[in-house]
Structures are given as structure tokens and as C-alpha cells.
């Protein structure tokens, strides 16, 4: 069998080992050298171009079904739980909490839940919106496991590495949000970032009010392609008197986008985190679809006031 292997950046150092194991079984093995941002970003083009019979994607659970033969190999990591007793002090005023984590630590969620329950907490595990496959699991684009229980809890707790995943959940919830980072041995309350990102969003909207040309970003990645939304955005922008075109790429090069001087603003329809995390990488405002709708609403109000 001809097999293509795909690894996220943190696991690429294991590519050779897995390739050799499969070759010993009589398979012809190739390794994708492209970056991947998750199971929404499968190496399907590479798979088709080399005629692979199967793609084995490491590090993530299935995002959504594709017609190609794809095997998902989640990568589980046992994170140290030594900070859990210390976290009881910062959570002392919060009786009902939700716990979220990533696929790498989802197997530890029950034990973390049990710890807090043994220390008098009521623990809720929310359900994802559908892209994530496990209760309590969050992705950059699926924060349902936190948002679905936000009204019922006093606080949220993220257990795992990094800020990428909890930041997305934070921006879609309203309650105090704590990060237990077992690898950096720290506990942090991150509520302050809600206001920081609210101000950033408002700043983008105000800058985009002067825009006359809009570039709408459409990704060809398997789990990020949203041409329907792009067409809706294009129609609404043109109805508001703006020039709008759809820009297509697999991975957007922001330096290349900045060379497109006729566009005064860009609207993201790909991974929702692009319009949050990459806003400083373009010379023009990089908006979400909702932010563009706010721009169009404000433009309409300004025109009415001028009449």
C-alpha cells in the first residue's frame, strides 16, 4: 500500500520512526513536509498527486468526514497534575466549574473532574458544537464544550498546554476563566484578554469604515473551505457600494496579501482564529464576517446621518 504520513509541527520529529515501521510491513511510505494546522488541514492534494491509497494523520481526532481514505491517530500526552491542589485556592469562590482540554489530554479529563469533585466542587463537562468529537474537548474553532455550559457555571478551567485553545473559549464565554498550564507550572486567570480583544476588534472595525475595496479570503483546506459564506459576504458588500472580490489560497501568505493594494480590508471565511490571531500581519484590517457586518451597519447609519 502507498501511504502518506502527516504530522503537526510538534510531532514531526517522529515521522521517520513511523515511516520505517510501516515500510517494514511492506508499505511504500511518503511523509508530508507541509505544515498542518489540525484535522481541518489534511494533506489531500499531496495524497492525490502521489496516488496514495491512504493518508495517516497524526496528532488530531477526525474533524469532519472526507471521502478519501484517512486514518486519524490522536496523540495522547500525560500532563502532570501537580498543580491541581494549588488551583483550589484560586477557585475557592467558584463552586460550580467547567473543565476543558485538548485531544492530547482528553484521557485525563475524568481524573481531573474526580479530583475537583472530591474537594467539594460541582463539575460540568460541556458538549462541543460538532467539530470536536469529545465532551470537554475544545479546538480553535469549536469552543462549545465551554460555551454550552457558560450560563450554568461560576468559572471555567482549562487544563493543558499553551494559550491558543483557551483563548478561543475565553472570547466566547463570560465567566472567570483559569488556565492550568502543567508544562510551564503556572496557573493564570485570563479574563483580562476579553477586553483587550474587544478593543482590537473595535479598532479593526473603525479602520475598515473607510474601506472601498474588500478582499474575501477563502481557504481550500478540507475543513476551512466556506465558499457559500464568501458569496454572501461579497453580495452584501457590493450592495453597500463596496468593491469586493474573493481571494483563494490553501495557506494565505500575508505578505502577498499586503501587496494587493486595491483592497482596503480583508474578510476571513477560513479558520475563525485567522481574524483573531493574525490581525497584525496585514497592512489592512483583517475582519471576521461578523465584524464586516458591523462595518456595513455603521456605514449605513453614517450615510443616513449625512442626508
Q: Give the pLDDT of residue 302.
A: 79
Work out the angle between the directed axes of helices 192-208 and 289-306 (0-180°, nearest 10). 50
What domains can you pick out in the chain, each with its CATH number? Answer: 2-73 (3.40.50.11840), 84-190 (3.40.50.11850), 195-306 (3.40.50.11860)
Collapsing DSSP states into helix, strand and coil, what is residue 68? coil
> Is residue 279 within 8 Å of 286, Cβ to Cβ?
yes
Confidence (pTM): 0.89
Beta strands in the chain (DSSP E): 2-6, 28-31, 54-58, 70-73, 96-100, 122-124, 155-159, 177-181, 186-189, 213-219, 243-249, 265-268, 286-287
- The set of cell numbers assigned to 212 is 472601498
- The set of cell numbers assigned to 282 is 496585514
pLDDT by 10s per residue, the chain, length 307? 999 999 999 899 999 999 999 999 999 999 999 999 899 999 999 999 999 999 999 999 888 889 999 999 999 999 999 999 999 999 999 999 999 999 999 999 999 999 999 999 999 999 999 889 899 999 989 999 999 999 999 999 999 998 999 999 999 999 999 999 999 999 999 999 999 999 999 999 999 999 999 999 999 999 999 999 999 999 999 999 999 999 999 999 999 999 999 999 999 999 999 999 888 888 999 999 999 999 999 988 877 777 6
For 249-258, write each residue's pLDDT tens digit.
999 999 999 9
Strands of the 265-268 sheet, one edge to the other: 243-249, 213-219, 265-268, 286-287
Q: Give the pLDDT of residue 215.
A: 97
Amino acid at each position: 500500500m502507498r501511504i502518506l504520513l502527516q504530522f503537526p509541527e510538534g510531532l514531526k520529529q517522529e515521522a521517520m520512526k513511523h515511516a520505517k515501521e510501516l515500510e517494514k510491513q511492506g508499505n511504500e511510505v511518503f511523509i508530508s513536509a507541509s505544515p498542518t494546522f489540525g484535522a481541518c488541514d489534511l494533506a489531500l492534494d499531496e495524497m492525490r498527486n502521489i496516488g496514495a491509497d491512504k493518508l495517516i494523520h497524526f496528532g488530531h481526532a477526525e474533524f469532519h468526514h472526507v471521502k478519501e481514505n484517512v486514518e486519524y491517530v490522536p496523540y495522547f500526552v500525560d500532563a502532570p497534575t501537580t498543580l491541581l491542589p494549588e488551583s483550589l485556592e484560586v477557585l475557592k469562590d467558584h463552586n460550580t466549574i467547567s473543565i476543558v482540554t485538548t485531544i492530547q489530554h482528553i484521557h485525563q479529563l475524568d481524573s481531573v473532574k474526580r479530583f475537583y469533585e472530591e474537594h467539594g466542587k460541582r463539575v460540568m463537562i460541556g458538549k462541543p458544537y460538532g467539530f470536536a468529537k469529545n465532551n470537554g474537548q475544545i479546538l480553535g474553532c469549536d469552543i462549545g464544550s465551554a460555551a454550552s455550559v457558560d450560563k450554568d457555571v461560576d468559572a471555567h478551567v482549562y487544563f493543558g498546554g499553551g494559550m491558543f485553545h483557551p483563548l478561543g473559549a475565553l472570547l466566547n464565554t463570560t465567566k472567570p476563566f483559569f488556565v492550568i498550564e502543567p508544562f510551564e507550572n503556572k496557573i493564570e486567570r485570563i479574563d483580562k484578554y476579553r477586553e483587550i480583544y474587544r478593543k482590537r476588534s473595535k479598532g479593526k472595525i473603525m479602520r475598515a469604515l473607510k474601506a472601498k475595496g474588500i478582499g474575501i479570503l477563502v481557504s481550500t483546506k478540507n475543513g476551512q473551505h466556506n465558499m457559500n459564506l464568501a458569496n454572501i459576504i461579497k453580495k452584501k458588500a457590493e450592495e453597500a457600494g463596496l468593491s469586493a472580490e474573493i481571494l483563494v489560497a490553501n495557506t494565505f501568505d500575508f505578505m502577498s496579501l499586503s501587496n494587493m493594494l486595491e483592497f482596503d480590508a480583508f474578510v476571513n471565511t477560513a479558520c475563525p482564529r485567522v481574524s483573531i490571531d493574525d490581525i497584525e500581519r496585514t497592512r489592512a484590517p483583517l475582519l471576521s464576517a461578523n465584524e464586516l457586518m458591523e462595518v456595513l451597519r455603521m456605514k449605513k447609519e453614517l450615510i443616513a446621518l449625512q442626508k
